[in-house]
Structure 1
Amino acid sequence: MLHNFEPPVSDDEIEAAALQYVRKVSGTTRPSAANEEAFGEAVRAVTAATRTLLDSLVTKAPPRDREAEAAKAKARAAERYGPRTITSG
């Protein structure tokens, strides 16, 4: 989620989300040389579309606090997956 945060989402965060989306849709994390240009163009297009969307959205809700939202996400992950334990091999 990128909408309605204080401070507002950065261009780097939007581009990272666009990259994640293009990777998901294409089914690859690194395109072949033959597909690199198309992959990069898709990331740029999704980045631009996302920025346009975020700049156009309006809400009456107060902005969300990034740290509070991160803590909620961490708690949801712990509930879903259990506490993380690190084992040495």
Structure 2
Amino acid sequence: MCRNIHTLHNFEPAASSEEVQAAALQYVRKIAGTTKPSKANQEAFDRAVAEIAHATQHLLNDLVAVRPPKNREEEAAKARARAVASGRYAA
């Protein structure tokens, strides 16, 4: 799984269209094996990003949460703490 793709479901506030688009872009980049497609592949690349973003938004709209939404700031703070504790980043 690409490390730059984050969970988007069940957060308060809900995932923005920019976050959905960014996740779709990261997914397509991973699958295509490139961050910048050639001119010959640009149209297919852009279409794939748009279609995946569209499907992702539908998925997020249709999912039912059984737990209360998570707070984005609290989850980000936990992730930063885990990264520091793992030695990935200096404190």
Give the TM-score of the pair, scaled to structure 2.
Answer: 0.87
Residue 82 of structure 1: how far off its partner (Å) = 4.0
Q: Deviations over 1:6-33 (max 9, x none)?
A: 1111001000000000001111000000
What is the aligned partner in structure 2 of residue 81 from structure 1? 87
Q: C-alpha distance in 2, partners of 1:13/1:82?
A: 24
Give SS of 1:81's match.
Answer: coil
**Structure ranking higher on relative contact order (CA contacts 8 Å, 6+ apart):** 1
What is the aligned partner in structure 1 of residue 59 from structure 2? 53
Aligned-pair identity in percent equals 55
Paired residue total: 85
What is the aligned partner in structure 2 of residue 13 from structure 1? 19
Question: 5+ residue gaps in structure 1?
Answer: none
Q: Aligned letter for 1:74? A: R
Residue 84 of structure 1: how far off its partner (Å) = 2.2
Q: Deviations over 1:20-73 (max 9, x none)?
A: 000011110000000000000000011011001000100120000000010111
Give the TM-score of the pair, scaled to structure 1.
Answer: 0.89
What is the aligned partner in structure 2 of residue 25 from structure 1? 31
Pick which of 70-79 and 28-37 moved more.
70-79
Q: C-alpha distance in 2, partners of 1:33/1:63?
A: 41
Q: CA RMSD in A?
A: 1.2
